[in-house]
């Protein structure tokens, strides 16, 4: 950079009396170099927080009205911004209501402070900074009090709504290399004060040929950044010279963005950077660098979390519905107030077991900062879906929960399969008066109930039969061995029964018995040759089996249930 050598320190005479009030001036030459810094609450100069959104890149940095602030002692002569000549002076006796009295809650006419602060320049030559350090505050109300330091300005009462331009004066002991930490406090009757902070790096004096780069705004929330990006201006290059502008994340070397333009007749270049996608990944500090000829310049900007205090809002529709409607249509779930392109995760769990996730889905928030999904349960479950459910959703550091309810309308078939006995000796299994009873209950009256019996390894269907449910919705069949050797049937059998397209499954075991051949053991798969001879292939009771299947079971459909109730 081109710089002029100069003495390390400056002393600048103060205005007469040693004190100079803050001057509300619009500095047209520095507006594009504004440093916007979010505020913290309670008057503490802390790291910028999420309470007051800064001005967007397009906000006007000029004065709100005539640009002339009230002097600290002008209270009695100032008029109300509304123009009421009869308005009571805040200092007039008992009739002037003090918004700050009593509980300290905001009065009806008092609104929370929604202002933004910017230092007009992030770096200043030592001679200019010693004269005055300019700053801008937008979003003020008449009567607000502005206190800025370091400097000898004291406090100033703003006399009109809008933008206030002030200067920090009296910092005559600055030297090259200093970093001036600036604190500005905005106070309003009946409201919590807002504290803004920023810093200015003091550099050597330079001539007008040094390149400069500015970013507007230098601090903003993530939503504002994703919507508006940043505006970049490079000045003091040579007309017609190529100017290259780059952006990197602070502390890293990889270019996030780069653009080259030709300087105009005034030696300046303007560019805009829009982040596009990325969501919360853009939160942080960034460095903007510019090169033109042998000159370089850089500045920084920051992106913060939203400071409007808005939480994510989760909704489920409908929040209560009947079981049949739920199984067919499910529920619609929406989470709003996320960031564009942020990852949104939805989960559904039973209210009785919130730690067990029944269903989960993830998507990116759209341009409306919302994520929306539809949850439809699978076909299984039946009346198991009756009850209360918890829905949880997250995006970034935001989360929300709500519930929905499914009620029983009696429209869903939820049959129950019973097998009796579940364990039977081979001797009893080949007894056609005993065998195994399989029953479906809670079907619809006169509905078809279909039963199937499979081998132990489920590789072969051994028997199937259809029975009609009675008026109580109950249907049953009996199965038994067709052969004479009980040992042949030792093993496990699997049962599948279905009614109204809802299936249930179970099993029964045939054990070794005292009569008949075989080893009398309990091992082996059903339908195997555990020592018995091949079964006769009469198959009169068997239906629907594939050709060549080993027919080992027989049975009867719709048998009387009462005659077996005392047998086990």
DSSP string covering 101-146: STT-PPPTT------EEEES-SEEEHHHHHH-EEEEEEEE-TT-EE
Q: Which two tokens stand for residue 529?
A: 């040759």
Left (φ > 0), alpha (ψ -120 to 50) or beta: where does 53 sit? beta
- Rounded mean pLDDT, 532-557: 38
- Asked whether the predicted pLDDT for residue 92 surpasses 80, the reply is no
- Separation of CA 237 from chain center: 44
For Cα atoms 503, 506, 512, give the angle at the middle one, nearest 5 degrees. 155
pLDDT in tens, 551-562: 456 665 544 433
Place of tokens 């590789």: 459
Secondary structure percentages of the chain, helix, strand, coil, to 5: 10, 40, 50
Identify the three-state secondary structure at position 452.
Answer: strand
- Which residues in 188-326 belong to E strands, given as ranges? 194-203, 212-216, 219-221, 230-235, 242-249, 255-262, 269-273, 284-292, 295-304, 313-317, 320-322
From residue 174, alpha-carbon distances to 9, 40, 373 in Å are: 6, 27, 59
Q: Which residues contact 155 (CB under 8 A, 6 or more apart)?
A: 72, 145, 146, 147
Burial grade of 374 (CB within 10 A; 0-12, 13-18, 19 or more): exposed
Burial grade of 308 (CB within 10 A; 0-12, 13-18, 19 or more): middle
- Rounded mean pLDDT, 493-510: 91
Helical H segments across 289-413, by residue range:
323-329
DSSP category for residue 407: E
pLDDT of 368 reads 81
- Rounded mean pLDDT, 152-174: 89
- Rounded mean pLDDT, 47-61: 41
pLDDT of 277 reads 72
Query: Strands 39-41, 133-140: parallel, antiparallel or unpaired by DSSP?
Result: unpaired
pLDDT band at 205 (very low <50, low <70, confident <90, very high): low
- Rounded mean pLDDT, 253-261: 93
Which of 113-127, 233-247, 392-406 is most confident? 233-247
């Amino acid at each position: 950079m081109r710089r002029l050598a100069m003495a390390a320190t400056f002393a600048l005479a103060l205005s007469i009396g040693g004190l100079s009030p803050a001057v509300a001036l619009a500095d047209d030459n520095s507006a594009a170099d504004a440093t916007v810094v979010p505020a913290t609450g309670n008057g503490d100069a802390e790291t910028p927080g999420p309470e007051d959104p800064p001005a967007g890149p397009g906000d006007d940095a000029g004065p709100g009205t005539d640009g002339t602030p009230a002097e600290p002692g002008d209270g009695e002569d100032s008029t109300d911004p509304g123009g009421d000549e009869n308005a009571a002076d805040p200092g007039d006796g008992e009739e002037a209501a003090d918004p700050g009295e009593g509980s300290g809650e905001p009065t009806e006419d008092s609104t929370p402070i929604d202002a933004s602060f910017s230092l007009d320049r992030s770096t200043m030559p030592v001679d200019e900074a010693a004269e005055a350090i300019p700053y801008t505050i937008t979003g003020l109300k008449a009567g607000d009090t502005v206190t800025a330091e370091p400097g000898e300005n004291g406090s100033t009462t703003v006399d009109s709504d809008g933008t206030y331009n002030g200067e920090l004066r009296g910092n005559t002991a600055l030297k090259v290399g200093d970093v001036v930490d600036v604190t500005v406090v905005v106070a309003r009757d009946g409201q919590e004060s807002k504290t803004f902070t920023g810093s200015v790096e003091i550099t050597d004096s330079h001539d007008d040929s040094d390149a400069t780069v500015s970013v507007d705004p230098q601090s903003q929330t993530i939503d504002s950044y994703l919507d508006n990006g940043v505006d970049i201006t490079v000045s003091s290059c040579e007309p017609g010279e190529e100017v290259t502008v780059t952006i990197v994340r602070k502390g890293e070397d990889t270019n996030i963005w780069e653009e080259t333009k030709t300087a105009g007749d005034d030696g300046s270049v303007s560019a805009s950077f829009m982040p596009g996608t990325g969501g919360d990944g853009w939160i942080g500090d960034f460095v903007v660098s510019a090169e033109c000829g042998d000159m370089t310049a850089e500045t920084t900007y920051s992106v913060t979390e939203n400071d409007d205090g808005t939480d994510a809002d989760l909704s489920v529709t409908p929040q209560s519905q009947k079981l049949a409607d739920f199984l067919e249509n499910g529920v619609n779930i929406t989470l709003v107030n996320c960031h564009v392109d942020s990852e949104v995760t939805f989960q559904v769990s039973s209210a009785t077991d919130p730690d067990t996730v029944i269903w989960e889905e993830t998507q990116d928030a759209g341009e409306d900062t919302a994520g929306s999904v539809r949850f439809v349960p699978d076909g299984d479950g039946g009346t198991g879906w009756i009850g209360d459910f918890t829905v949880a959703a997250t995006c970034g550091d935001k989360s929300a929960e709500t519930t929905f309810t499914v009620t029983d309308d009696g429209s869903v078939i939820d049959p129950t399969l019973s097998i009796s006995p579940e364990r039977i000796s081979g001797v009893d299994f080949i007894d056609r008066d005993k065998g195994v009873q399989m029953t479906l209950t809670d079907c619809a009256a006169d509905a078809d109930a279909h039963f199937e019996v499979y081998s132990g390894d489920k590789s072969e269907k051994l028997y199937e039969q259809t029975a009609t449910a009675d008026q109580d919705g109950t249907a049953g069949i009996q199965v038994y061995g067709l052969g004479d050797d009980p040992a042949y049937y030792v093993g496990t059998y699997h049962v599948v029964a279905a009614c109204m397209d809802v299936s249930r499954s179970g099993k029964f075991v045939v054990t070794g018995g005292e009569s008949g051949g075989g080893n009398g053991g309990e091992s082996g798969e059903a339908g195997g040759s555990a020592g018995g001879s091949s079964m006769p292939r009469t198959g009169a009771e068997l239906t629907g089996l594939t050709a060549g299947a080993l027919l080992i079971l027989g049975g009867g459909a719709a048998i009387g249930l009462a005659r077996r109730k005392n047998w086990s």
